[in-house]
Chains A and B, each alone.
Chain A
Amino acid sequence: MKKRKLEKWLLLEQSGELSTRQLRQLGRELAASEDTRILRQELGRLKGSILLPEIEPSPWTVTKIATRLHEERRSAPTVTRVLKPALALAACLMVVAGILNFHGKQVSSAPVAVATVARVDVWNDPLEEDLGRLERQIAAISGDSLDIMEM
């Protein structure tokens, strides 16, 4: 077995992830090769020499976690409690507005037409005045009465 594969198997053996068949095969390798035994020992020693930090989380950690969780749990229903009726109200208003708008469109067609006419009238008024003024001026210049309809 190649050294790299062997090392992989030794690592998997250390983590308890080798199958029974692989374990048997590795056992044969270990029995046959001193280098494999040394490699295995090295890995074992490496793991055994790891230092665990003496520092622990602050003694208040659990309290802080519990407080944060409590606050988040409390704030979550508040949001739901406020948002749910607000959303329901908004939905109702939208429906009402939609209905009103629908009826409004049907009813409002006449006033729109009136408004359009009124706008036309308003636009026509100054023109009529101008035409009248022009007529008077022409009449004054010519001295004759002039029928506007003949112009």
Chain B
Amino acid sequence: MKTTDIERTRMDQDDAKLLAEYHAGSAEALGVLVEKYKRPLFGFILRFSEGREDADEVFQEVWVRAIKNMNRYRQENLLSWLFRIAHNLMIDRVRRRKFVVSLDTPAGEDGVPLSERLAGAGLGPDDETGGRELGLRIEAAAAQLPLEQREVFWLRMQADLSFKEIAKIQKCSINTALARMQYAVSKLRKELAGEYRELREAGI
């Protein structure tokens, strides 16, 4: 068993325990669960919604559906399951509205664009400025990807889900999920040609 699997199994046991505590009447347990997964889940929802309020509604709906249908949970990775619910909700909405989130889209009631509300992830202080710039360019380029590719890209790169989990969410084979990711990476490579050149010139 790989390390990630071990971690996920352990996480599942924690989640199952928290869910059991919630059903036994502990409101705090729900808070712990929501807090645990809010960042990747909300981040994903935010990219496919119309802004903060809309994302908030979807986020709540995901949790309500997840808890209501807990009998279907069967000890799998909770985050993956939450993403599956979010996927179903978001895909419906995106297809209905044909809405594409732009970095210039005001993310909240204060009208601050999404691009100004993004923070660097996993970068050291030296890389922060350059990393943030690159991150913003990646955001912009990824926003142009077709829906399925965009979803695979964010589920893998931001939510850190495995291709097996992504395939389950998208109801496709692992090979299809991988192919979508490859197309996405290939398109980003074209869009970010300058950055890729810099990377090569840096002698890596």
Contact = CB atoms under 8 A, between A and B. Distances in A.
B135 A50 contact: yes
Interface string A59-74: 0011011101100100
A56 B39 contact: yes
Interface string B97-125: 00000000001100000100111111100
Q: Pick the most buried of A12, A43, A45, A64: most chain B CB atoms within 10 A of its CB.
A: A45
B196 A65 contact: no
B157 A47 contact: yes
A7 B180 CA distance: 12
Contact of B118 (A53, A69, A72): A53
Given A49-B134, A72-B68, A54 B156 contact: no
Interface in B151-204: 156-158, 160-164, 178, 181-182, 185, 188-189, 196, 199-200, 204
What secondary structure prevails in chain A residues at the interface with B?
A: helix
Interface in A33-49: 37-38, 41-43, 45-49
B117 to A, nearest CB: 5
B71 interface: no
Contacts of A16: 2-4, 162
A58 interface: yes
The B contact surface, by secondary structure, is: helix
A50 B42 contact: no
Nearest to B139: A51
Given A51-B139, A52-B119, A42 B43 contact: no
Interface residues of B, number: 59
Contacts of B2: 16
B31 interface: yes
A146 to B, nearest CB: 90
Contacts of B157: 46-47, 50
A94 B90 CA distance: 46
A98 B38 CA distance: 58
Interface in B26-85: 27, 30-31, 34-35, 38-40, 42-43, 46-47, 52, 55-56, 59-60, 63-64, 67-68
A15 interface: yes
Contact of B120 (A42, A47, A51, A62): A51
Interface residues of A, number: 35
A64 B60 contact: yes
A17 interface: yes
A11 interface: yes
A61 B178 contact: no
5 contacts: A11-B178, A41-B204, A46-B138, A49-B120, A57-B38
* Closest 5 pairs between A and B when the two form their complex, measured CB to CB: A51-B135, A51-B118, A49-B134, A52-B121, A16-B4
Interface of B: 2-4, 27, 30-31, 34-35, 38-40, 42-43, 46-47, 52, 55-56, 59-60, 63-64, 67-68, 107-108, 114, 117-123, 131-132, 134-136, 138-139, 156-158, 160-164, 178, 181-182, 185, 188-189, 196, 199-200, 204
Given A49-B134, A65-B60, 9 more contacts: A12-B163, A46-B138, A48-B121, A48-B123, A49-B131, A51-B120, A52-B40, A57-B56, A62-B30
